[in-house]
Amino acid sequence: MDGSPDDISNLKYLLEPESVAVIGASRDPQKIGYQVLWNLIGGGFPREKIFPINPKAEEILDLKCYPSILEVPEKVDLAVIVVPAKIVPMVLKQCVEKGVKAVAIISAGFGEVGNIAAEEEIVRIAREGGMRLLGPNIVGVANTHNNMNASFCQALPFKGNIAFITQSGALAIALVGWTLLEKIGLSALVSLGNKADVDDADLILYLRDDPKTSVITIYMEGLDDGRKFMDAASKVSAQKPIIIVKAGRSERGAKAASSHTGSLAGSDIAYTAAFKKYGVLRASNIQELFDWAMATAYMPPLKNNNVVILTNGGGAGVLATDECESSGINLMDIPPELAEELRKYMPPFGSVGNPIDLTGMATKEWYKGALKALLSHKDVGGVIVLYCHTAITAPMEIAEAIIEAYEESNKDKPITTSFIGGSECLKSQEHLRRNNIPSYPSPERAVSAMAALLERGKYLMKPPSKAPKLDVDRVTAQRIIGKALEEDRSALSSIEAFQVAEAYGIPVPPLQVVKSREEAVSVARSVGFPLVAEIESPDIIHKTDVGGIVLNIENEDAALKAFDQILENIKKNTPTAKVIGVAFRKMVEEGQEVLVGMHRDPTFGPLIAFGMGGIFVNILKDVSFRITPLTEMEAKEMISETKASKILYGYRGMETLDINSVVDVILRVSQLAMDFKEITDIDVNPLFVYRNGCVAVDVKILLGKSEKNENKP
Amino acid sequence: MDGSPDDISNLKYLLEPESVAVIGASRDPQKIGYQVLWNLIGGGFPREKIFPINPKAEEILDLKCYPSILEVPEKVDLAVIVVPAKIVPMVLKQCVEKGVKAVAIISAGFGEVGNIAAEEEIVRIAREGGMRLLGPNIVGVANTHNNMNASFCQALPFKGNIAFITQSGALAIALVGWTLLEKIGLSALVSLGNKADVDDADLILYLRDDPKTSVITIYMEGLDDGRKFMDAASKVSAQKPIIIVKAGRSERGAKAASSHTGSLAGSDIAYTAAFKKYGVLRASNIQELFDWAMATAYMPPLKNNNVVILTNGGGAGVLATDECESSGINLMDIPPELAEELRKYMPPFGSVGNPIDLTGMATKEWYKGALKALLSHKDVGGVIVLYCHTAITAPMEIAEAIIEAYEESNKDKPITTSFIGGSECLKSQEHLRRNNIPSYPSPERAVSAMAALLERGKYLMKPPSKAPKLDVDRVTAQRIIGKALEEDRSALSSIEAFQVAEAYGIPVPPLQVVKSREEAVSVARSVGFPLVAEIESPDIIHKTDVGGIVLNIENEDAALKAFDQILENIKKNTPTAKVIGVAFRKMVEEGQEVLVGMHRDPTFGPLIAFGMGGIFVNILKDVSFRITPLTEMEAKEMISETKASKILYGYRGMETLDINSVVDVILRVSQLAMDFKEITDIDVNPLFVYRNGCVAVDVKILLGKSEKNENKP
């Protein structure tokens, strides 16, 4: 309770208040100030702990009304504010005076309409007063477990263990109705609005320790502070799954999201990379969000990717099989002794392949026996159970069989189920869910849920690893970068970039700048032939155009001649350019082209890229991304994620190349980006990779002077 | 009514019979023979036109029972057969004698358990008797519009205009329940079973002319005769949409489907290519199948890909926007005069970008006004209408607004809608559907439905085009291929392959076979330098290993020397090989590598492939496919579908290459494959493409002697 913006202890008063004031309570049923009060009462929050505030009313909905919060005779934990924007500051000050610990500001008219100053003012008041502030511009906050519906959502959701945080108020209202229809239970519902103070990061940290919440779901349009969220996610994800629908993945969608919420739109790639880093599951739509939430709330993660499909209909089995393949779920081959056991639970024309087809004759006993056999077999990691409604079995019996088989197992392996059919199947799904078994109407959704459990299992099983300490010459890099910044440049020259790379241990060709005719020959000899000579000047970008480059210099004479000729060309073609010298760089043997790059994302910071070079990058976008800091394992994953990296691993008789040297370059680029926040972009492209080692053939480093400049697209 | 297998006129008796006999009707409610009778009666088929056949019963379910169909005093159109497999032939013969025109064989125990002979026998009996035969091994057939449920599905679906054909019986039963739950109306439901006689092709042709059916949906695991289906689809697709879930798209799924139905598994790529050719929409799951069916049944196709999203919730708008981008739907920019008009229907903080955000304040009047404005604007091609349940509007009012606006429009543009919320939204969706407006619970599904309308629009708008007549030397090709087949070879030699390619007008380097030392120099001169010399022998495959190739021959002396040396090497290294001569082939300048290939798919025949050469093909699988015959337009589409083809079009300052010459090669490879069904595979790889023209640097042609051999994987 230090009043700092990151202090989450006061969120208790937001989500579990013992008393709630509604400031701006109204007698007019059309007004939000009435609806919030109505919802609080209707949700079952203790009437005596609800305090309507309205200077013009004596009583609303049979509750005594107070002219101001200061008149309330009891302690108030949470104030819900529904008054016009203009008087919010005044009201907030009263809350501070009253000792309120959390406010939820439903009122709109702040940042979302450009009224930044007003938003800053209310945050200042709240922070100075030690209050956490939710909103403004929200539909409210609800907690089913203390019967609190402090929102203008028409009803409290069912009690459950899924917390739902949303940046869209309209979706909050609409989805409450949807969860009621779909019988999905929630623990908490939080509308974030403008996120002036309380944001996603605060809430996930708070909900990590909420015993009523097993899984945290978020509808997100954008984050202002990506690093804060990543930090929070890293602390939460190991304990509870976080599942997010991040809208705005398309360019136009990002624009719409940005204009909708005013969030800074970092690149969607950066969001994906950030989520992946800390095991946040990214769902592609709301249905998947809740499908996955149910699965991760009810089931242990899939830690052994050996899955079996159990079905009574071949067609459903095939559909699920297709989906498994595209979801990365491995369908195991059934070992003979297990097949023999399974044969007991099917007619002779059943199948013990995988899918296991019990056929349309499958009874409750067969389902139970087969599922028990699978769950108790050491090789089986998880089971997807499918049931097609048949004329001979009641779906509810099969649901019972599944529940019994699971209850009688060790419950250490996940199962997901699908019941395909009409209203009886729907009832069976609901019955299964009540018994903590995820159940869906289509085979594909049961598979998708298992895929979420697989992703979660992979994250939890990752061995701990840290970003390595690298030996770098930071001082040299600092000197070069500092000089360029002093000279107000937005890029290093190619020579400078090579020097910075070298200082950071990124292999570059032998390279020296020749400053006088006298030293040309000895420098050439020490660099080695063949070499490239090129003008070194901060004023010349397109060197070829002004005759500033000579390639393929094979001997000392040619080196001297090239030195003279370049200086002559420059004098003739661009006489005003400042000349530092002529750089001699050894030409290196051609290797396999790859690229390592960095772009500083405005939301998440350094986003590291790896891709196979040339056309693969430009046309095929076969590139993988991670957010810094990078561990060695992440660098290796980046390489193997690109399709074209097969070439590095020795594709079809090609020789295996030095992947470790590329991993090292990725880590060093990552380190460089972290050490110098003035660097906005790094492009090591191409990096030639050989059987032994690699060399950066071109290095570009762009600079931005301030954070603000950096953040420009 | 010619009794031929392709005569579809008798399908009338299968789908619209005036009288139905149930052969194998039973008094035991557990038996299918009872259930079918019960369902026929319960579905509302005229009782007096239902004839149970059972020699051991007098009466079942109050209907008079006959000992054999021959005893039935009236004409029988359709016989549903539920007797054991063994007596099906006897019963079928009686049906023929009785003059029955169609039989539906529910009985199992035929091809699906390996009993091929029995299946062939029943087909023979039916065909000789002029009867069409559905099944065997089916759940039956239903037609809602004549109240016929001749199946053991527990209920007749709702009346509607979607026909559903399924290869999986279990899915038929399960999905009937599901359609009842989801309030989806069907016209006909046909379980195909083993497809011994009646197949998908027959049914779509029949349903094309069924006035009660607007759209045909199919769950398919495999086709035995892909060409028959393509031919039928080409005749149906322009009139009615055909939408298919093809299971078995994964390798393991295909194996499961194949063992499930015994269908030949052609490659999934071939199915996709075949469907695309004739505008068949391929849905990825059952829900999408019916989502698309509803959209295409109710709405005109999207012929102008300028779509607008209309919403009252920003979040829903963003989600839909993302989905549009990944579905290929173009969200248009709103022209100023339309924006001005739309401003009338929103508060000042609404948005006239696209998505159009009417905000949570949107009323019935605003929705109606905005939608009318959009539908009447000349630039707008279609509208996706989203509604998030709010506290201030009743969903049903918004549904009414949409219906009114659409009814008052020209109805020449498609709209799809999504109502996000609880039970009131569900009711509104149903209300919209009853009024022929597709409506879904999530924005993504409304977008997906619009994408289906877009794909259909694209197909219908394609200008008619025909496979071109090409000038080829078929006689020469015939001679070379015939000789290889006579010699029992499964491949042409590389020289032969070049010669066949040349005969078909595929550009190949100058090439001649030198048969004697005397002609070596003159041949070398006429071929041109530099050239490659290589041994021509049917017995030598790995020419390099035996010293059978000399590269980079620059002059006449070297050519003569190479000739001598190759023959000497062969004599030494593989003395028994039959030597035809030494081929001299001009080495060509390196161009952009592409490949054109053909593989004869067992289901659909020649599948033509185009891809960028080398690593793109091997690692990135950046390849496009079509089924023959190919039109010029299709060949062009093939090229532009590959990502890497940007290189051909002049990527980033690269020169534009001769795409027409590649189109020509694709068409010629296609022609060659069609002309010689003995050719199983053609591989023109690499084909070097230049600014002017292209040259095949390597050509491989594989042969198969019979259809059966060809079809082996």
DSSP per residue, B10-68: THHHHHS-S-EEEET--S-TTSHHHHHHHHHHHHT--GGGEEEE-TT-SEETTEE-BSS
For residue A1, being part of any structural domain is answered with: no
CB contact under 8 A, B321 and A256: yes
Check whether residue B93 and residue B179 sit in a common domain. Answer: yes
Check whether residue B621 and residue B639 sit in a common domain. Answer: yes
Q: What CATH code is carried by the domain that includes residue B581?
A: 3.30.1490.20
User: Could you tell me which residues come within 8 angstroms of residue B558 by beta carbon, excluding any fewer than 6 positions away?
Assistant: none
Distance between CA atoms of residues B389 and A177, nearest Å? 8
The confidence score (pLDDT) of residue A393 equals 86
Q: Which of B295, B328, B345 is the last residue before a domain boundary?
A: B295
The confidence score (pLDDT) of residue B707 equals 47
Under 8 Å between Cβ of A686 and A698: yes
The confidence score (pLDDT) of residue B524 equals 93
Res A1 pLDDT > 60: no
Under 8 Å between Cβ of A696 and A684: yes
Beta bridge partners of B151: B140
Check whether residue A153 and residue A275 sit in a common domain. Answer: yes
For residue A214, being part of any structural domain is answered with: yes
Test the A interface: residue of B322, B424, B622 with most A CBs within 10 Å: B322
Question: For residue B396, with 0-12 CB atoms within 10 Å meaning exposed, 13-18 middle and 19 or more buried, which class applies?
Answer: middle
User: How far is CA A145 from each of CA A16, A106, A160, A194, rounded to the nearest angstrom?
Assistant: 9, 22, 8, 26
Distance between CA atoms of residues B643 and B640, nearest Å? 7
User: What band does A465 get if pLDDT is binned at 50, 70 and 90?
Assistant: confident
B37 close to A (CB below 8 A): no
Q: What CATH code is carried by the domain that includes residue B272?
A: 3.40.50.261
In chain B, residues with a C-beta closer than 8 Å to the C-beta of A259 are: 351, 353
Domain count, chain A: 4
Candidates B139, B172, B169; CA nearest to B260 is B169
pLDDT in tens, B300-359: 999 999 999 999 999 999 999 999 999 999 999 999 999 999 999 999 989 999 999 999
The DSSP-derived string for B62-117 is TEE-BSSGGG-SS--SEEEE-S-GGGHHHHHHHHHHHT--EEEE----SGGGT-HH
A655 close to B (CB below 8 A): no
Q: Could you say which of A180, A256, A643 has the minimum Cβ distance to residue B619?
A: A643
Test the A interface: residue of B112, B179, B287, B318 with most A CBs within 10 Å: B318
Check whether residue B103 and residue B231 sit in a common domain. Answer: yes
Query: DSSP character for A267?
Result: -
pLDDT in tens, A678-712: 999 999 989 999 999 999 998 999 999 644 433 33
For residue A17, being part of any structural domain is answered with: yes
Tokens of A642: 């690109």
Under 8 Å between Cβ of A588 and A607: no
Average pLDDT value for residue range B525-554: 88
In chain A, residues with a C-beta closer than 8 Å to the C-beta of B317 are: 256, 260
A316 close to B (CB below 8 A): yes
Distance between CA atoms of residues B704 and B710, nearest Å? 5
Res A713 pLDDT > 50: no
A492-506, A646-660, B678-692: the lowest-pLDDT one: A646-660
Check whether residue A563 and residue A627 sit in a common domain. Answer: no
Distance between CA atoms of residues B388 and A154, nearest Å? 13
CA of A47 to nearest chain B CA: how many angstroms apart?
23
Check whether residue B550 and residue B645 sit in a common domain. Answer: no
Candidates A194, A167, A165; CA nearest to A262 is A194
The predicted complex's ipTM stands at: 0.90
N-term to C-term CA, chain A: 38
Check whether residue B633 and residue B705 sit in a common domain. Answer: yes
Closest-approach residue (CA) in chain B for A445: B285
How far is CA A27 from its chain centroid?
44
Question: For residue B377, with 0-12 CB atoms within 10 Å meaning exposed, 13-18 middle and 19 or more buried, which class applies?
Answer: buried
For residue A5, being part of any structural domain is answered with: no
B239-276 burial, b for 16+ CB within 10 Å, e for fewer?
A: ebbbbbbbbbbbebbbebbbbbbbbebbbbbbbbbbbb
Tokens of B302: 């999207």
Check whether residue A305 and residue A290 sit in a common domain. Answer: no
Res B713 pLDDT > 60: no
pLDDT in tens, B59-98: 999 999 999 999 999 999 999 999 999 999 999 999 999 9
For residue B6, being part of any structural domain is answered with: no
Check whether residue B57 and residue B166 sit in a common domain. Answer: yes
Average pLDDT, chain B: 92
A543-582 burial, b for 16+ CB within 10 Å, e for fewer?
A: beebbbbbeebeeeebbbebbeebbebbeeebeebebbbb
Check whether residue A129 and residue A243 sit in a common domain. Answer: yes
The confidence score (pLDDT) of residue A259 equals 64
Distance between CA atoms of residues B25 and B33, nearest Å? 4
CB contact under 8 A, B620 and A644: yes
Beta strands per DSSP E along A293-410: 307-311, 356-357, 382-388
Q: Could you say which of B170, B421, B643 has the minimum Cβ distance to residue A619?
A: B643
For residue B2, being part of any structural domain is answered with: no
Q: Which residues form the domain of A686? A: 592-711
Check whether residue A195 and residue A109 sit in a common domain. Answer: yes
Distance between CA atoms of residues B221 and B248, nearest Å? 6
Res B607 pLDDT > 60: yes
Candidates A84, A76, A103, A82; CA nearest to A92 is A103
Res A617 pLDDT > 60: yes
Q: What is the dihedral of CA A566, A569, A574, A576, to 10 degrees?
A: 70
Average pLDDT value for residue range B658-679: 96
Q: Could you say which of A256, A322, A646 has the minimum Cβ distance to residue B619?
A: A646
| Kind plus residue range of the DSSP H or E element containing B454 | helix B443-461
pLDDT in tens, B256-293: 776 655 554 468 899 999 999 999 999 999 999 999 99
Q: Strand pairing of A382-388 and A415-420?
A: parallel
Q: Strand pairing of B281-283 and B679-689?
A: unpaired
- Looking only at Cα atoms, what is the longest distance across chain A? 101
Q: What CATH code is carried by the domain that includes residue A676?
A: 3.30.470.20
A293-297, A325-329, A431-435, B647-651: the lowest-pLDDT one: B647-651
pLDDT in tens, B377-423: 999 999 999 999 987 889 999 999 999 999 999 999 999 999 999 99
Check whether residue A91 and residue A141 sit in a common domain. Answer: yes
Type of residue numbered B667? L
B109 close to A (CB below 8 A): no
User: What band does B654 get if pLDDT is binned at 50, 70 and 90?
Assistant: confident
Length of chain A in terms of residues written: 713
Beta bridge partners of A85: none
The DSSP-derived string for B471-508 is ---HHHHHHHHHHHHHTT-SB--HHHHHHHHHHTT---
Backbone φ and ψ of A394, nearest 5°? -90, 130
User: What band does A436 get if pLDDT is binned at 50, 70 and 90?
Assistant: very high
Candidates B424, B87, B453, B323; CA nearest to A286 is B323
In chain B, residues with a C-beta closer than 8 Å to the C-beta of A286 are: 319, 442
- State the helix-helix crossing angle for A364-376 and A336-343, rounded to 10 degrees: 160
pTM, entire model: 0.92
For residue B477, being part of any structural domain is answered with: no
For residue A2, being part of any structural domain is answered with: no
User: Could you tell me which residues come within 8 angstroms of residue A21 by beta carbon, excluding any fewer than 6 positions away?
Assistant: A50, A51, A52, A53, A66, A69, A72, A76, A78, A79, A80, A100
Res A229 pLDDT > 50: yes
Q: Which of B245, B264, B295 is the last residue before a domain boundary?
A: B295
Distance between CA atoms of residues A430 and A160, nearest Å? 14
User: How far is CA B67 from each of CA A261, B90, B698, rounded to the nearest angstrom?
Assistant: 76, 14, 71
Q: Chain A neighbours among B 514-573 (CB < 8 Å)?
A: none
Q: Which of B262, B295, B328 is the last residue before a domain boundary?
A: B295
Candidates A90, A91, A73; CA nearest to A81 is A91
At residue B214's C-alpha, the angle toward residues B209 and B220, to 5°, is 90
Closest-approach residue (CA) in chain B for A389: B174
How many percent of chain A have pLDDT more than 70?
96
Distance between CA atoms of residues B52 and B602, nearest Å? 43
In chain A, residues with a C-beta closer than 8 Å to the C-beta of B424 are: 177
Average pLDDT value for residue range A214-234: 95
Average pLDDT, chain A: 92
For CA atoms A500, A505, A511, A514, give the dihedral sign: positive
pLDDT in tens, A114-142: 899 999 999 999 999 999 999 999 999 99
CA of A560 to nearest chain B CA: how many angstroms apart?
34
User: Could you tell me which residues come within 8 angstroms of residue B18 by beta carbon, excluding any fewer than 6 positions away?
Assistant: B49, B75, B77
Tokens of A545: 């155009």
pLDDT in tens, A416-430: 999 999 999 999 999
CB contact under 8 A, B646 and A355: no
